[in-house]
Structure 1
Amino acid sequence: MIRGKKHRPTLVVALLIAMVSWLGLAATPASAAPPPAAPNSVTITGDGVAAPLIIRAEGDQEIFAAVLDQVGWLRGTGQTSSPAAGDLGPKFVVTVLIDDAPKQAYDLYPLAKGGPRAFRPAKQPDGGRVAPAWFFGRLSMSETLQAAGVPLPAQTNVVNGGIGGGERVIREDSLTPGKDLGQMLTDLRGLLLLNGAVVVAITICLAGIALLVRRRTR
């Protein structure tokens, strides 16, 4: 009987070690699952592009990331209805590839009336289908495609990033900081005088209150 009792703690420890080992082995496959493959190249075809433009991440990471940024966020139900075909301008197809296998394709219209537009077709190059949707493109779409080799006219005075049209965002006359410098100094001097007047008024009020309290305490 005593010998059996001595073996009980050892048996409990062995069971605990076995349970911990089993839990560790059960969790290993989930934690060791490889991450999904990331896109490593894009191609651009369309109006005026004689041969498909191929941009690889390893060859030109900056241009690749900029082109991918134009289409990487095109998810959901879309932002706009289908525009008139005559307002779209030239069309360019950006195809995203993973290990040289095409996965997603998007239609870009950098010169569309009212600002760049993007369209996600229902039929995708990997054989899958998605809900077709229209989006307002990024303001930098034209410059990005041009940097990738697409023959587009130069676009100036456009804020990079964001979503919406490609019209001038900042007024030209607002970019002359010296124009209203005299008015700014005048306004600043007026503000300082106003602050000084407020400080003097508060000081007079405090002095009056102190004098009144002193007379009543005598």
Structure 2
Amino acid sequence: MVRRMRRLAVLTVGGLAALLLSLTVAQPAPAAPKSPPAGVDITGDGLAEPLRLRAEHHPDHVKAIVDQVSARALVRQSGSPKKAALGPKYTVVVLAGDVPKQTYDLYPKAVGGPRVFRPAKQPDSRKTTAAWFLGRVSMSETLRTAGVPLERTYESVSGGIGGGERIIPEEALNPAQDLNEAFGDLRRLLLLNVAVVLVITLGLAGIALLVRRRTR
């Protein structure tokens, strides 16, 4: 009987140790990154022909332009601004390969801060609604460095009506990911506590059984 209890205790402790090791070491596989846009086409005031930027030749410019129209960076505006207050207009078409997928109208010199307009009619025929958004204050300088003929401006790093560049990286602003990690750590801690309690209980049971056998 004593040998059986010892063997059971050893097997239980070993199984719990393996379980805890797998929970501690194993990490969920990261999601596959989305393929970046292949490029953007820009047309508008002062451009005799479309400005065609491709990721393979101008990756930084393409990323900067796409960031200006990213849904995560846009804040929707109630109502429509007055046309006279918008200033020069630049249409940005985002491409996937050679296929146009999205289009936006950018107004970097709008009174009160840059504006972005999303037309209801999109190149990929997806259903959406026309909407105005507050743009980033860096819009004018981003377009200028990409090749749009705009005067140089000195925008602030952050703040402004249209919002600025984020000082904290976009990846760091992910509360869902932080919450999942917190729950994962809590689960591992609870399982560790349960395992410790079971090991102690089995140890005490084994000691009690040995004492009982010797006192008979």
Q: TM-score range by the shorter chain?
A: 0.5 to 0.7
Structure 1 residue aligned with 2:66: 68
State the structure with more CA Rg. Answer: 1
Displacement of 1:163 after TM fit? 6.2
Aligned residue in 2 for 1:57: 55
Q: Which one has more relative contact order, counting CA pairs under 8 Å at least 6 apart? A: 2
Aligned to 1:13: none
Percent identity over paired residues: 52
Q: Output the TM-score relative to the length of structure 1.
A: 0.55
* Alpha-carbon distance between aligned partners in 2 of 1:77 and 1:66, rounded to the nearest angstrom: 17
Q: Write out per-residue CA displacement over residues 11-50 of structure 1, whole angstroms, 9 at most, x where no aligned residue.
A: xxxxxxxxxxxxxxxxxxxx9xx97654110110011111
Deviations, residues 107-161 of structure 1 (Å, cap 9, x unaligned): 00000001100011000011223111111100100000001111111112x1246
Aligned-partner SS, 2:66: helix
Select the residue among 18, 38, 41 that pairs with 1:40: 38
Provide the residue aligned with 2:77 in structure 1: 79
| Cα drift, residue 164 of structure 1 | 2.4
| C-alpha distance in structure 2 between counterparts of 1:73 and 1:162, whole Å | 18
- Unaligned segments of structure 1, at least 5 residues: 1-30, 167-218
Structure 1 CA distance, aligned partners of 2:52 and 2:59?
12
Aligned residues: 134
Q: Secondary structure at the match of 1:49?
A: coil
For 1:87 and 1:129, the matched residues in 2 are separated by 29
Q: Tell me: CA distance 1:161–1:93, structure 2 relative to 1, closer, same or farther (3 Å).
A: farther
Letter in 2 for 1:106: Y
Q: Which residue of 2 aligns with 1:123?
A: 121
Unpaired runs of 5+ in structure 2? 1-28, 164-216
Cα offset for 1:75?
8.3
SS where residue 40 of structure 2 aligns? Answer: strand
Matched residue type, 2:156:
V
TM-align CA RMSD: 2.6
Q: Tell me if the contact between 1:48 and 1:151 (Cα under 8 Å) persists in the aligned partners.
A: yes
Q: Which aligned pairs between 1:140-159 and structure 2 lie closer than 5 A?
A: 140-156=138-154, 158-159=155-156
Q: Judge conservation of contact 1:108–1:116 (CA < 8 Å) in 2.
A: yes
Match of 2:161 in 1: 164
Counting only pairs closer than 5 Å after superposition, residues 24-39 of structure 1 correspond to structure 2 as 37-39=35-37
Contact kept, 8 Å, 1:119 with 1:134, in 2: the verdict is: yes
Per-residue CA deviations over 1:64-98 (Å, capped at 9, x if unaligned) read 11111001226888233200000000100010000
CA separation of 1:54 and 1:162: change in aligned 2, threshold 3 A = farther
Letter in 2 for 1:65: K
Moved over 3 A (4+): 34-38, 74-77, 160-163
Counterpart position of 2:133 = 135
**Counterpart amino acid of residue 89 in structure 1:** G
Name the CA shift for 1:121/1:161 in 2 (closer, same or farther; >3 Å).
Answer: farther
Query: Which amino acid counterpart does residue 164 of structure 1 have in structure 2?
Result: I
